Structure 1
Amino acid sequence: MDLRGKVAVVTGSGRGLGLAYARALAAAGAAVVVNDVDRKAVDEAVAALTAEGGRATGVVAAVGDGATAQELVDTAVREFGSLDVLVTNAGILRDRVLWKMTDDDFDDVVRVHLRGTFTCARAAAVRMREQGTGGRLVLISSPAGQRGNFGQTNYAAAKAGIVAMARTWAMELGRAGITVNAVVPVAATEMTRTIPAFAPAIEESERTGAPLPDRLRKDEGLGTVEDVAALVTFLASDASDGVTGQAIGIGGDRLALWSHPKEKAVAFADGGWDAAAIAADWADGVGAEPETYGIPAPQAPEA
């Protein structure tokens, strides 16, 4: 993937998955604007990308409002001359079950993930349309947004909304040559280290440098942050021209295309349905094969 001459903004790229995305884009030749709320993390990330031969600068700011989004775009243009790729990765967690989740828990997560994606994408789209050379919007979603997850009302709602925005923007920006896709990543991060079925293997891999076992890389689709970064690099490149409006999963050895919601079963009643008719039809009709929900529990290793 040759990204020389391209300029990318990666939000939330001071560490973890975001840093992996920034490093992969820089390694492919793109100039990168690193963003995080932690100045130390931004400075260290910029230094690392530069030491590896890349071009990078940093912006310390929390995404969510329009001013931060514009600052990210303006920095890319001022420092490197254009904006060609936006990766919206910034996010926070405030996990609690519904009856314990506060208004602030909900609003804070939605502000960073959903509103932050919206404001940054809007500013990027304005610039890309003005440039007239197309562009790439890569929006980071999550399996929680596709299937739901216990204790993550706020996060799951935001990540589902991000996929919906990707589909909508793919329609709106197509004529300008701007592709929009959602990435659904699974990787060994601080969050997955807390899952009992994953933790021992992740710790062993980090201690020895050995790859994660096949049961995780294949069966669970769990790998390193670098595994996920490959998809972001592809979507930022000219090789992905024409790929738009998609939700694409990656992790470990697994690459997957998530289906878009569609009607699974349909029934008709002349004159419409009343509640009693729905109840009578449900079990053997439309509701005969209900959909599953929730992220499947990881399989524990065999003893």
Structure 2
Amino acid sequence: MTPSTEVVRLDGRVAIVTGSGRSLGRAYALALADAGAAVVVNDVDPVTAAETVAAITSTGGRAVAVVAPVGPASTAEALVDAALTQFGRLDVLIANAGVLRDRVLWKMSDEDFDAVVDTHLRGTFTCGRAAAIAMREQGDGGRIVVIGSPAGQFGSFGQTNYAAVKAGLVAMARTWSLELARAGITANAVIPTALSPMTATIPAYTQVYEDFLATGEIPREYRSSHALGTPEDVAPLLVWLASERSAHVTGQAIGIGGDRLTLYAHPSALRTLDHDGGWSAERIDEAWRDDLGALAQTSGPPDLS
């Protein structure tokens, strides 16, 4: 690859980052601010939201906080209003806020399901809608980035709610890329893989996370084959997607973590078969045994052992 000689900057741009009081969201907000953007910080915790704002303003950046849960349209409108009244415009939305309520299907309650849907899916929808309205009225284009997950790409045991919303967010971004193209607004999904309190709930990574907290080190094999790094390893992709350099990129799902950058494929047909007059159950069984079954894909992430 030819090295880039021009630093990617966001001077004059204004961004909203939901769920930016801690972990990945905080890393995104700090990186955007470091690149020159003014940031509307959002979290349900006023203390962590204030800490993110202070971390930005203490080094000469510009930031304000909106303390509210994403999901309701009123929160989305408050976030956009803060960007417009405090900084005069809105260029970037990073829809990051999320929660976990992990349970296997037969133990998952309605409340577990609804909490995750309301925050991730409805929250991204209401924020995306409010941002799109403001950006279209502004007339200068814009950037919308939703945050997906490998769970939404491959499925994840015990995460019916989380996997469903994360898959839905990628489809949402692809739909928005079509609807907002004429307005010069791009929409993409980022699939981050980083050590965080959420990652620590995965048994295979619990000890790695605890060791990282104690030492600050991540074994090389986890940074490469497992694509696991720090939240700060993910943040440069958000800066690039927020910049003018990515104006031609839309409708994509891009993964990043540790030392690995990944472009995910769109869903596509593996094989099509035609039969005059349609298909009987018997002919479908024959087609599966003779042809389609060999192409069937397994659920779950790739085996990285």
TM, length-normalised to structure 2: 0.95
CA drift of 1:254 comes to: 0.4
Change (3 A) 1:298 1:197: farther
Tell me, what secondary structure is at the counterpart of 1:287? helix
Tell me, what secondary structure is at the counterpart of 1:288? helix
Tell me, what secondary structure is at the counterpart of 2:102? coil
Change (3 A) 1:182 1:155: same
Q: Which of 216, 224, 244 is the aligned partner of 1:238?
A: 244
Determine if contact 2:270/2:295 at 8 Å carries over to the other structure.
no
Partners of 2:294 and 2:215 lie apart in 1 by 49
Q: Which of 252, 256, 269 is the aligned partner of 2:275?
A: 269
Aligned positions, number: 298
2:236 maps to a residue whose letter is A
Matches within 5 A, 1:211-230: 212-230=218-236
Partners of 1:199 and 1:205 lie apart in 2 by 10
Superposed CA deviations along residues 180-226 of structure 1, whole A, max 9, x for unmatched, are 0000000010122244443344333333334x122101110000000
Determine if contact 2:100/2:198 at 8 Å carries over to the other structure.
no
Partners of 2:232 and 2:252 lie apart in 1 by 21
Determine if contact 1:250/1:256 at 8 Å carries over to the other structure.
yes
Q: Does residue 157 in structure 1 map to residue 174 in structure 2? A: no
1:290 maps to a residue whose letter is A
Q: Does residue 294 in structure 1 map to residue 300 in structure 2? A: yes
2:254 maps to a residue whose letter is I
Determine if contact 1:197/1:298 at 8 Å carries over to the other structure.
no
Q: Does residue 54 in structure 1 map to residue 61 in structure 2? A: yes
Partners of 1:63 and 1:45 lie apart in 2 by 17
1:94 maps to a residue whose letter is R
Superposed CA deviations along residues 222-275 of structure 1, whole A, max 9, x for unmatched, are 000001111111100011111000000000000000111010011111111111
2:36 maps to a residue whose letter is G
Determine if contact 2:144/2:188 at 8 Å carries over to the other structure.
yes
Q: Which of 181, 196, 209 is the aligned partner of 1:202?
A: 209
- Identify unmatched segments of 5+ residues in structure 2: 1-7
Q: Does residue 12 in structure 1 map to residue 34 in structure 2? A: no
Give the percent of matched residue pairs that are identical in Structure 1 and Structure 2: 61
Q: Does residue 247 in structure 1 map to residue 253 in structure 2? A: yes
TM, length-normalised to structure 1: 0.96
Determine if contact 1:267/1:285 at 8 Å carries over to the other structure.
no
Tell me, what secondary structure is at the counterpart of 2:116? helix
Q: Which of 118, 132, 135 is the aligned partner of 2:139?
A: 132
Q: Does residue 260 in structure 1 map to residue 266 in structure 2? A: yes
2:189 maps to a residue whose letter is A
Determine if contact 1:140/1:185 at 8 Å carries over to the other structure.
yes
Q: What is aligned with 1:187? A: 194
Partners of 2:176 and 2:209 lie apart in 1 by 37
- Identify unmatched segments of 5+ residues in structure 1: none
Partners of 2:270 and 2:173 lie apart in 1 by 22
CA drift of 1:51 comes to: 1.2
Partners of 1:183 and 1:65 lie apart in 2 by 23
Alpha carbon RMSD of aligned pairs, Å?
A: 1.2
